[in-house]
Every structure is written in C-alpha cells, then in structure tokens.
Amino acid sequence: QVRLAESGGGLVQAGASLRLSCAASGRLFSSYIVGWFRQDPGTERQFVAAIRWSGGSARYADSVKDRFTISRDNSSNTVYLQMNSLKPGDTAVYYCAASPVFSFGWRAYRDWGQGTQVSVSS
C-alpha cells in the first residue's frame, strides 16, 4: 500500500508561486507514475502533471505547461509541484496520486492523498 500526503497549498495573489509537496510512504515501485490532479467543487477531477518515480517522462496539462514543474526527490520520497505565475483559474484542491501506468484520467490512479487547497486571487 502506498500512502500519500500533500502539503504546501495556500492563498496567494495572481502571479505568485507555490510549491506543493507529496510525501510518499509504503511500497512505491520505481516504475510507478506519481501524478497531480486538481478539482474545484462541482467539477470533475482534472490531470495537472505526472512523473515516473524513477525520474524522467514528465507530462503536463496544456493549461499549466511552462508554468508548473514536477520533480521528485528519492531520498525523501517526495514529489513536488512547483507552480509559478499562478492564475485565478488554478484555484482548486490539488491531489497527488500513484498509478502503475501513465494516464491522463484520474480513474487509473490507485492511491490518493487527502488534497491541499490552492486559492489564487486576482
């Protein structure tokens, strides 16, 4: 079982930056994908970014490409999401999740954190 815990969310103004952290514990295979998703109340959970635990193969949603960067630190079992140039449209609860294969869809991911709130004001 993989346990995931997100942190680093908050309330910021447009143009600011935040770094989200996803701490993992338990069995996490090196080939696993760790992804970030976000969801506003009443909306479907949407893909943001993903990376292989072993590194490389980073993927991004078009809406965040060139603004967000996903990375991982194997020594601390942590995946990060660096978010720059934040926009009000980035406001959502952000979740990290793990999957044995890459997918843009949330249903492929088996393990989820509890989420962290990101709010961006104009």
Q: What is the structure's pLDDT at 78?
A: 93
CA distances from 108 to 9, 29, 60, 66, 81 (A): 24, 16, 16, 25, 20
CB 35 within 8 A of CB 19: no
pLDDT value, residue 74: 82
Query: What does the pLDDT look like over 7-57, one tens digit per residue?
Result: 999 999 999 999 999 999 987 777 889 999 999 988 999 999 999 988 777
Q: pLDDT (tens digit, 9 = 90+) per residue, 96-113?
A: 999 999 999 999 999 999
Q: Evaluate if residue 88 carries a pLDDT over 80.
A: yes
Q: What is the CA radius of gyration of the chain?
A: 13
- Confidence tier at 2 by pLDDT (50, 70, 90): confident
